[in-house]
Structure formats: C-alpha cells, structure tokens
RNA sequence: GGGGGAGUAGCUCAAUCGGUCAGAGCUGCGGGCUUAUAUCCCGCCGGUUCCAGGUUCGAGUCCUGGCUCCCCUACCA
C-alpha cells in the first residue's frame, strides 16, 4: 500500500529526509558501482574558489554539472564525479591578510611566510568543507570528502604540520605528515575532491613550464606594468580587464619652460601628476600642426587642434609650425632638482627634450604628451626605442623611493594636491580640472593601479601574423603557440556558439602570458635565475629538483612545494655551475586550474587511466572572464603538452543577478545567501529555476521567481497526491510490475494510451535535449507534460478513480496514472533529484520491492516507454482539446456555465488523419457537458469549405500572384477538384499545397480554429435546467462539506429545503450518492447543522448537512 | 577606438527556412472550474516588434544608416 500523501508538501523537510536516506543506503556509491567499467562519460570540473561560502550563483553552475552527470549516469555511463577546489592565489592571501589586520607585504614578512602560507591552506580547508556541505545540500552528487575530515586536517595542520596522521583512502589507510596528506588530497590513494594546491598539481605545472622553457618560450621581461600598491604585485593582462572602473582624476595642464626660447613654454597635459617627477621627455606628433599663442605675458606651444579644449582665457596665435620642427627642443623639467632625476640624467648626459611619437593625438590634452618611461607601458616602449633614461619613482607599496626629496616615502597617488601646489609655487602650473575616465583597479582589493617598472616572467604566445588565419602556413603555425591553440579551439564544440569566436578573438589579441607574482602563497615558480652568467634553468618536477639540488634539500624534504621551504633549495647553474636560488615569485593562479586535465587524471602516474578519461566530454562554467582564464589556461597547457583539445564540448552560461536586475549586493537588499535559499524555497525549486533559465542570458534570481517555479512543481505534486489518496481509498496496488497491459482494459483506453504516449514523448524529447546540453529544452517539455497530466488527463479521469466507478476502468486509470507518474519521475530525476525520489519511493519502492530502491538507480526511461508512442493519437487529442476550448468560449459568450448540460454540440473536424475519433468525440462530449456531439460536414448549413493556402510551400512559385490568391481563398472564390487540388484565381494548387478546412458560414454563432468548428445548442429544456440545478446543488453541497472540514469518506445527513416545483426530486438520489449522504430530508434543517443558500434556476434552496454516525 | 550580441505588451520572455492574424507567463479586471490543486481554465485590457530607409508578392526575422543597452577587446597621456 502507498504511504499517505499530504496536500501541502514541505519540500525542504523532504529534502533533508532524502539526504539522510541516501547516506544510509549508500545510494550514490551503489550507483557508481552499478556503472563501473561501462562506457565512460568524462566530466571535468572547473574548480570553485575555496575562499568563501558558496553563493546562489554557484548553485546555478552546480545544477548544470549535477544534472548532466546524473543524466549520463542514467544512461549507464561510468563517470569520475570529482569536484575541484581552487586553492592558491592572491584571493586567499587577501582574506588571510584581512583577518590578521595586515596592510602590506612587510606585515607578512614580519609574521613569517611559513605560518602565513599555513593559514592560507587552513582557510582553503575551512571553506572546502563548508562548500562541500552546501553542495551536498544542493543534491550535487560527487565523490565528496567528509567535511568533518577536512576540518580535522585543518586543525591538525594548525597544531603541528609535521605530526603523523592516518586517513582512510579508497584503497586503504594512508599515513603521512599532516602537511603531506593535505598535499595529496584528491590523488588516487586519498580520493575525494581535487585541490589545486596538491603536490601533483604543482609538480605537473613545473613539468609544463619546463617544457615551455625547452622550447624557448619562457623569458623575463623588463617592463612597466600595472601594479597594485596594496598587494605589492603586478597584474597580468588577464586580470586587468576585471577591474576597470569609472573614476575621476585630476586633468592637470603644466608648462615646461623652453631653455632655448626665453619666455616660451610647452603646455603638457597629464592625469597622473605623481608621474611628473619621472618625466624625461615631451612627445609631439610629427605631422600635427603646433602653434605658439600669447596669453598676457606668456607664450605657450600646443597643438593647433587642441586650442579650444586646452587653453583658458583669450589668446592670440603668433606662430605655427609642424611637430617635426619642434623635435629636439630642450626644456626645464618640473622636478629637475631632485637627486634621482639629476643622477638619471647625469649618467647619460641627457637633458629634457621634445621627441616625436606617432601615437600623439589631439582629442584630449594639448597635443604634447608627458613621457615617463618608468610610469607607463607605452612610455616605456617609446623610451626604449629612443634610448631615453628611465626613472622608476615608486617602490612596491607605491611610495616614492629615495632620491625624490620631500616626495620620498610618501604614497604617490595620495600626494596629488601637494604636487600641484608645489608646481604652482614654482611656476609650472597652468590649469587643473576634473577628468572622468575608466581606470584599471586591482580586481581583488579595488585599489587603483599604478604603473611601475618591474621584472616579470612570461610565456611567449608566439607571433601574430599579419594575414587571415587561413593563409597562415603549417610552418608558421608550428612556430607560434597561439595559432596552435586556435587549431585546438576548432576541434571543440562551443555552447553557445559565440564562445568559439570569442576565444579565437582573445587568442589573436592576447599578449604574452605573465606568469609571475611577487607574493607568498601559490605555485612556486621553478625558475632558477643565475646572477653569475645571466642564464636561467626551469626545473620540471620534484624529482628533478632533488637530483639537481646542491644544498637545502633537507630543509625542503617533507614539505609541500610551497614557500618558504622550497626556497631553501639551491641548484648549480647549468651554464656556469654557480649556485642558484629559486626566484621568489609565485605563479599565476590560472596555471593551477589549467593543469587539471592532466593532474587530476594522473597524466604521469597512470598514463593508461589518463588516456581513458582525456579529453573531457564536457566542461561548463559561467563564461564571463573564463575565455581568457580557465578555458584559455586549459587550452594553452593542453596544446603545449599534447597539441590536442582538453575538452570536447564547452557549455558557458551567463551571470546571476538579483530579482531587480542588479548584481546581488547585501546593502541593496537583493542578495540571497545559498543556505537561506535552500532552507526557504528548497533546492529542487532552485534547481528548477536554474534548469529552466536561458543559459546565455543573465538570470534574475529572487523569491518571486521561486514562487513561480514552486507553483509549477506543486501542480505535479497535486497530481501525485490525488493519485495516492484515491489509490489508497480504492485499495489499488500495482500487480507485480509497472505494466501498460491494464490500460487496454479500461473504458477510456484512448485517454490512457494518450497520456502514456505523451509520457514517452516527454522522456524521449527530454533525453535528446539533455544529451545536447540543453537543460532548458528539457524543462520546457516537462512543463508541457505536467500541464497535460494535470489539466487534461487527471481532470478527465477523476471520476474513474472514485468509488463506484467501473472496476476494470478504475484499475486501468490507476495503472495508467501510476505508470505515467513513474515515467515522469525518472525523466525529471536528473533535474529534480529530491522530488523525483519522493515520488519514486512511494510509487515504486513502497509497493514493488523487486525494483531498484532509488529513482537514481534506474535507467533513463526511454527503453521502457518507447513502445507507448502513438503520435496520431497525440495529434487527435490536441484537436479534442481545441474543440473543448472553443465550446467553453461559446458558453462564456452565451452565459451558460459549464455545469449546465446542453442538448447538442455540432462539430467539424479538420481533414487530417485522426486516430480514435469515437473516443475523441466522447471526450469532447463529456468535457463540454453536452448530451450529444454531432459531426457536421460540407453538406451542413453551418459550415462552408475553406481553403488554407500553405504559403511556405507555394510562396516562391506564386510570387506576386500571392495577394490575389490569398484574397480569393479568404472570400471562398475557389474550385475544389476530386484529386484534392484546388484552382484559385486561375492558379492550380496541388493537394499538398493547401489544407481544406471547415469554416463557419457567416451569420452563425460559432467558434473556429485551425479547421475545427464548434457550434452549441443554447436552447434549454426544463429537463436540462433541472439537471443543471442538480449539479449546482451538488457543487454547493461539496463546498459545504469542504467548509465543514469533512474527510473525503465522511458520510452525512443532508437537508434540502425549497425548490418548490419539485424538479429536483428526480436527481436527489444521485446527488445523495455523490455527496455521501445517507439520508436526504426535504424539510428545514436543525439549528446546529452547517447550512448555506444556493441560487438555482428553480428558486433559492436552503441546504444543510451534519455528519452521521459517530462523528 | 575596434569587434560581437541585444532592443518585441507595465514586467520576464517566445515566435522553425522570411509566410500574411506577433504569442505565453506574471500583474490588473471579469467569468468559470458538478471534492486533486490557496490550483487551474476561459475571456478582456495591454504592441508604431527602438527609429528611418531599402530588398521582397510578403519583414519581428534579411540589408543600410541612426539611437539605446550589454558583453568582449584596446597603451591613449
């Protein structure tokens, strides 16, 4: 027997119950065992940053990851189910610094690098545990570590990283120091999620870098780079774009007095006054026109095209020259007295002068550009080309270094006002105004970036050829990594397809990959830069390092490859033999995530395993940013190591916003925490919202949207609750198996066959959509089916399931609905793992012990349901539904309630092939509540024959004749031929170019749609009126029962007082039967009975009821 | 600055190869639903498909120009 079902489900409580049940029954482990060794489907997880609790936006991606993996598991495919955590990088450091109250790198050095790195690892373990708990709550089935075990390791790591610990791995216990066990997380002997801080991950990146070096692609660049003064590190091109923000800076115009032209000055514009101390030149455009203007006693040079925007007050132009003639003019710099400037200029015997630069324009400023090669990337390039001296004025923290007089030690960006007033006093100032522009900020801490002269390490991405890609020769591709990556991109399916173009665009435009960061926690770059000879070595792994070590190995032994221990090891330079230390830089974190197609698939330890699971069939992430981050890093690393694609299909989805369309932000009140969402709306509701979102559009997430999703699931719940309630009342249980055989025994066989056909079509269609990574398509099909099931099948079948129905028919109805619900439960299992399981547990497990004890252990349903398909019957039922809609429309117009029976309905059906027409007519008759349905044809006075011209078929052929033909068809001016062809306006259309349809004759009250014409008989006989009254009475009694809070099977005594003409009497016994009345009295009810008044055609009637028996 | 995408009802979104009448849901109003459903159904209100041209028998859809928004990309001081 089924367990009773509440009409008001508590989804959240059900989800918690199922999480417990799955854990107890080891359902997931059994699923994995069931599929082990089968054909593989390889999903590769993009690592989630283990730095904070998971947000609802993560739940979007994790819903996709889970549902596609579950779908493939139902196909019987073997999967790895490995989650990944992104563990290394500045974002972790920034948070640990914040917790410790640090403000600069000096604080970290004073605190101790070893302890700082350990705290970073501890933070990762803390949030890996947290995110694991949250993911499990979401129903995300992965090979999770026990969160408590992760926290235990964290605590042990904090207490003493060197202590021995034993943990349980998949192949038995593993014993090592805590530090090394943490370093082995995710590896085969330890199991669970992969962690990018693992030894193997770091080691394989070393191998990758060594391979790059072997090919000559690693180099050290000396360049002016964007620099974050808070983090004390440069930012790569990938990171730069994340942080552009609108900002207001000073737009400062200064004058540089010309040394050889007394009284004359250059006018120069800058938005970074702090860089003026590093000025070495002023650039003009060779072909631009420059003018000398007089303002009072002053003479200024500037570009002619900038006069209006740059000058303040009246002026007179006194001279004009092309920029080329200005070149070489000497001028007095704004900070010439500073020792650093004197030193830089003195060494090269240099003086400030005007130089030519073809990048100079007139759109902004004065057309004369302040050049400080130590403070700007393009300035540096120009300076290098012209051999100008370079002045690097600031240190890691953004403070002026020694030699800048009163500026030294002060923070460069904060000192703008002091610099301006200083310039004013010394006569260099001309004008100041606010200037709004987009300026790069540090994407982690939000600090505005400065440009600073630094050494960083790069991987060369290879030349960009100045020709279309299809003209690049194979030899040229072999010489340029970026083109090799592009070839790999061609092999991949990009969803949505614009991803393909976007990735290629990035590859064509990207510059070399800056891989170094002057920080503490992260991949230790294995670069050993020899000061003695200037050559450098790149070590390809821990073993190689051990072999090459000449000192410090003992200090490193037993530690993960992190700072500071790895820094102890020195090797002998391969060129000159001198001892060399590792550069202290750590790596770009995208190296960590990019190597996972190799490190997590045991590329080195188990090549056979690797070749089975590589490339991944599927990866998915939110695409903002990832085309130049994770997607790119994997492509680059896979191309270098294998020159093949690391994944076959990539599915990207957009961004999650609050319900108001703005980014979620706590202070805006539109943010929803994952935990709150899970415990208030339930994760299945959340998953339904995500699965039915358009992935390439942003999703607006909020409580109202959740309510809509919940309502949809409630409809399904109600069908299920109805079924169980009545199956229990009727004592129905399935006989042995779920079987369609009972269906044909029922009186409503066509209806039953129809819903089963729809269930089969839904399973088939949803499977096709899921196989194509289209969750939205699958949910749309499911939604339609739920609607069919609820508003059509159940609506028409309710009577059949009540007591008193024909027993065989009743069994057929139960059997059908049971089978349909189970098919649906299996179809929605990947998307709604909880709701589907709740249904399955009751519909199957509680009554058929021989079947799998979880819906998630069943196979995808199409094999079982394919034979249920009857497309012609589905088409036929669609016609019936349209006809009933039309009848209801007509009733509405005529003011006749549906419960008022009518004598007749006339119906014309379209000329198409329809299955089970008799059953269809009966459905229409019952639903339209008429005594008889009469089919009408051409001969009827109610309809005409019309012709619908199928435009897509004939459009091209008819061309300009179309308007005339269409007009004639509309007016009925055509001639039908016996073979089905039609002549209209002299054009003959073949039978398959038109559809002959019934159309209403003018002047009749009819409704029509797509060849279906419905007419109702609106005349009411006394008998019909009485029957309508009886139904109205019955409905009122049922309402009253509900008001009285009676159970479905409570029996009553009924009073019906009034309705004096006696027309009701003939129906009272059937009313009594329907309302479970043992006794019907025709007199006034006692005072204590529950009563109401019903307005009937025959007059007002007073009804009352009271439970009978022991109630 | 360069490239891509989008613009459809008050809101969120549909509309197959260009096919003649642009549809759903939400919101609002009216009606209905003979005991699953605080649910659903029917109807009404609501549209210059961003604007202006063009191609075509026919344009939400294709082309050109403009406007607005989003994304990607870029060294502009």
Residue A1111 has pLDDT above 50, yes or no: no
How many whole angstroms from its chain centre is CA A1093? 56
Q: Tell me the per-residue pLDDT of A359-382, one tens digit each, with 9 for 90 and over.
A: 888 877 898 999 998 888 888 888
Distance in Å from B21's C1' to A970's CA comes to 13
CATH architecture of A236-451: Alpha-Beta Complex (3.90)
A328-337, A545-554, A577-586, A922-931: segment of lowest average pLDDT: A922-931
Average pLDDT value for residue range A754-758:
89
Report the CATH superfamily, name and number, of domain A687-869.
Isoleucyl-tRNA Synthetase; Domain 1 (1.10.730.10)
Within 400-459 of chain A, which residues have Cβ less than 7 Å from strand B? Answer: 437-438
Range A472-484 average pLDDT? 91
- Digit-coded pLDDT (tens) for A378-403: 888 888 888 888 888 998 888 999 99
Rounded to whole angstroms, what are the CA distances from A507 to A404, A482, A490, A1059?
Answer: 42, 6, 12, 85
Using pLDDT thresholds of 50, 70 and 90, give the confidence band for residue A679: very high
Residue A354, CA atoms < 13 Å, CB-side half-sphere: 28
Adjacent-strand bridge partners of A85: A48, A195
**Distance of C1' in B74 from CA in A1073, Å:** 81
pLDDT attached to residue A530: 95
HSE-CB for A600 with a 13 A CA cutoff = 34
Model pLDDT for residues A840-876, shown as the tens digit of each residue: 999 999 998 889 999 999 999 999 898 888 888 888 8
CA–CA dist A776, A697 (Å, integer): 12
Nearest-5° angle of CA A236, CA A238, CA A243?
A: 90
Q: Where are the alpha helices (DSSP H) in A228-318?
A: 237-240, 307-310
Q: Which stretches does DSSP call E strand in A637-786?
A: 649-653, 656-658, 699-701
Please give the Cα distance from A809 to A806 (Å, whole number).
5
Which nucleotide lies at the shortest CA–C1' distance from A889? B42
Question: Residue A929 CA to B42 C1' — how many Å?
Answer: 15
Least confident piece of the model among A404-413, A889-898, A1069-1078: A889-898
* A629 CB neighbours strand B below 7 A: no
Find the range with the poorest average confidence among A621-635, A811-825, A835-849, A1048-1062. Answer: A1048-1062
- Confidence band, pLDDT 50/70/90 cuts, at residue A619: very high
**Nucleic strand B under 7 Å from the C-beta of A898:** yes
Please give residues of chain A from 237 to 266 whose alpha-adjacent beta carbon (CB) lies under 7 Å from any atom of strand B.
237, 240-241, 244
Question: Residue A322 to residues A288, A311, A325, A669, A777: CA-CA distances in angstroms?
Answer: 6, 19, 6, 59, 65
Chain B bases having any atom below 7 Å from a protein CB: 2-5, 12-14, 17-20, 25-26, 30-43, 56-58, 71-77
Q: Where exactly are the structural domains of chain A?
A: 215-229+457-589, 236-451, 687-869, 878-1016, 1022-1107
Higher pLDDT, A1030 or A829: A829
Quick check: A1035 CB within 7 A of strand B? Answer: yes
Mean pLDDT score, A290-300: 93
Look at residue A549 in the predicted model and tell me its pLDDT.
Answer: 96
- Residues in A 959-1018 whose C-beta is less than 7 A from nucleic strand B are 959-960, 962-963, 966
Q: Is the CB of A927 under 7 A from strand B?
A: no
E-only strand ranges, A1030-1109: 1052-1058, 1077-1081, 1090-1096, 1099-1107
**Complex ipTM:** 0.86
Q: How confident is the model at residue A739 (pLDDT cuts 50, 70, 90)?
A: low
């Amino acid at each position: 027997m089924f367990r009773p079902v509440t009409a008001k489900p508590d989804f959240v409580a059900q989800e918690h119950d199922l999480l417990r049940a799955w854990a107890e029954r080891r359902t997931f482990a059994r699923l994995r065992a069931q599929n082990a060794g089968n054909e593989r489907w390889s999903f590769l997880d993009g690592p989630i940053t283990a730095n904070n609790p998971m947000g609802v936006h993560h739940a979007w991606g994790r819903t996709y990851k889970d549902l596609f993996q579950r779908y493939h598991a139902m196909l019987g495919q073997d999967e790895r189910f490995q989650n990944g955590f992104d563990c290394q990088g500045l974002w972790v450091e920034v948070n640990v610094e914040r917790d410790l109250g640090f403000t600069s790198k000096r604080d970290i050095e004073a605190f101790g690098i070893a302890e700082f790195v350990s705290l970073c690892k501890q933070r990762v373990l803390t949030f890996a545990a947290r995110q694991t708990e949250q993911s499990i709550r979401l129903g995300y089935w992965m090979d999770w570590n026990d969160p408590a075990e992760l926290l235990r390791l964290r605590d042990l790591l904090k207490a003493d990283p060197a202590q021995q610990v034993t943990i349980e791995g998949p192949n038995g216990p593993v014993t090592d120091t805590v530090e090394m066990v943490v370093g082995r997380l995710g590896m085969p002997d330890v199991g669970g999620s992969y962690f990018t801080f693992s030894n193997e991950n770091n080691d394989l990146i070393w191998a990758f870098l060594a391979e790059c070096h072997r090919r000559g692609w690693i180099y050290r660049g000396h360049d002016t780079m964007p620099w974050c003064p808070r983090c004390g590190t440069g930012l790569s091109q990938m990171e730069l774009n994340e942080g552009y923000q609108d900002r207001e800076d000073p737009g400062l115009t200064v004058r540089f007095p010309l040394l050889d032209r007394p009284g004359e000055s250059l006018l120069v514009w800058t938005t970074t006054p702090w860089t003026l101390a590093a000025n070495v030149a002023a650039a003009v455009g060779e072909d631009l026109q420059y003018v000398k203007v007089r303002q009072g006693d002053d003479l200024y040079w500037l570009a002619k095209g900038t006069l209006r925007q740059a000058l303040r007050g009246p002026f007179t132009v006194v001279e004009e020259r092309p920029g080329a003639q200005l070149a070489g003019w000497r001028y007095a710099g704004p900070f010439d007295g500073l020792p650093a400037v004197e030193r830089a200029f003195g060494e090269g015997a240099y003086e400030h002068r005007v130089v030519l630069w073809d990048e100079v324009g007139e759109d902004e400023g004065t057309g004369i550009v302040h050049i400080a090669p130590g403070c700007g990337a393009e300035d540096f390039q120009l300076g290098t080309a012209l051999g100008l001296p370079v002045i690097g004025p600031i240190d890691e923290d953004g403070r002026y270094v020694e030699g800048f007089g009163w500026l030294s030690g002060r923070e460069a960006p904060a000192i703008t006002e002091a610099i301006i007033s200083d310039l004013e006093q010394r006569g260099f100032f001309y004008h100041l105004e606010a200037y709004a522009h987009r300026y790069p900020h540090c994407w982690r801490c939000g600090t505005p970036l400065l440009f600073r002269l630094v050494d960083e390490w790069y991987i060369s991405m290879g030349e960009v050829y100045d020709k279309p890609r299809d003209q690049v020769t194979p030899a040229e591709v072999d010489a340029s990594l970026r083109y090799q990556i592009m070839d790999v991109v061609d092999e991949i399916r990009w969803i949505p397809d614009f991803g393909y173009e976007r990735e290629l665009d990035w590859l064509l435009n990207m510059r070399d990959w800056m891989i170094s960061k002057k920080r503490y926690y992260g991949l230790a770059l294995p670069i050993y830069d020899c000061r003695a000879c200037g050559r450098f070595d790149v070590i390809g792994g821990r073993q190689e390092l051990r072999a090459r070590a000449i000192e410090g190995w003992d200090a490193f032994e037993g530690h993960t490859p992190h700072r500071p221990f790895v820094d102890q090891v020195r090797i002998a330079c391969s060129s000159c033999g001198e001892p060399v230390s590792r550069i202290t830089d750590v790596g770009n974190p995208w190296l960590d995530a990019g190597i996972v197609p190799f490190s997590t698939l045991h590329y080195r330890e188990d090549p056979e395993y690797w070749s089975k699971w590589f490339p991944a069939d599927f990866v998915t992430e939110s695409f903002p940013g990832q085309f130049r981050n994770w997607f790119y890093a994997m492509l680059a690393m896979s191309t270098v190591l294998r020159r093949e694609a690391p994944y076959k299909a990539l599915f990207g989805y957009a961004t999650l916003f609050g319900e108001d369309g703005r980014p979620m932000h706590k202070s805006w009140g539109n943010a929803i925490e994952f935990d709150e969402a899970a415990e208030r709306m339930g994760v299945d509701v959340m998953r339904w919202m995500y699965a039915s979102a358009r992935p390439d559009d942003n999703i607006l997430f909020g409580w109202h949207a959740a309510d809509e999703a919940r309502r949809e699931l409630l409809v399904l719940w109600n069908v299920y609750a109805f079924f169980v309630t009545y199956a229990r009342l009727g004592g129905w249980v399935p006989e042995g198996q779920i079987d369609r055989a009972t269906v044909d025994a029922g009186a409503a066989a066509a209806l039953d066959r129809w819903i089963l056909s729809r269930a089969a079509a839904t399973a088939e269609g949803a499977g096709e959509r899921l196989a194509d990574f289209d969750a939205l398509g699958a949910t749309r099909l499911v939604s339609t089916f739920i609607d069919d099931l609820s508003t059509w099948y159940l609506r028409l079948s309710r009577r059949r399931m009540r007591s008193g129905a024909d027993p065989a028919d009743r069994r057929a109805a139960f059997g059908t609905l049971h089978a349909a619900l189970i098919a649906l439960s299996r179809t929605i299992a990947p998307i709604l793992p909880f709701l589907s399981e709740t249904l399955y547990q009751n519909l199957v497990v509680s009554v058929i012990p021989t079947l799998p004890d979880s819906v998630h252990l069943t196979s995808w349903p199409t094999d079982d349901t394919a034979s249920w398909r009857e497309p012609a019957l589905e088409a036929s039922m669609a016609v019936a539904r349209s006809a009933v809609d039309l009848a209801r429309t007509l009733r509405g117009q005529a003011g006749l309630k549906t419960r008022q029976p009518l004598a007749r309905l006339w119906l014309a059906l379209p000329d198409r092939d329809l299955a089970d027409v008799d059953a269809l007519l009966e459905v229409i008759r019952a639903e339209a509540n008429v005594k008889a349905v009469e089919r009408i044809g051409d001969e009827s006075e109610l309809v005409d024959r019309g012709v619908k011209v199928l435009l897509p078929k004939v459009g091209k052929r008819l061309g300009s004749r179309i308007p005339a033909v269409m007009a004639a068809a509309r007016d009925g001016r055509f001639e039908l031929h016996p073979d089905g062809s039609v002549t209209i306006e002299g054009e003959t259309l073949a039978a398959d170019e038109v559809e002959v349809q019934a159309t209403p004759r003018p002047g009749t009250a009819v409704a029509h749609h797509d060849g279906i014409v419905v007419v109702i008989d609106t005349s009411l006989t006394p008998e019909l009126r009485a029957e309508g009254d009886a139904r109205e009475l019955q409905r009122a009694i049922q309402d009253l029962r509900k008001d009285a809070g009676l159970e479905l099977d409570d029996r009553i005594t009924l009073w019906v007082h009034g309705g004096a003409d006696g027309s009701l009497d003939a129906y009272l016994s059937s009313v009594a039967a329907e309302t479970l009345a043992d006794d019907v009295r025709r007199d006034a009810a006692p005072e204590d009975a529950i009563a109401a008044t019903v307005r009937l055609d025959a007059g007002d009637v007073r009804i009352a009821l009271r439970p009978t028996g022991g109630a």
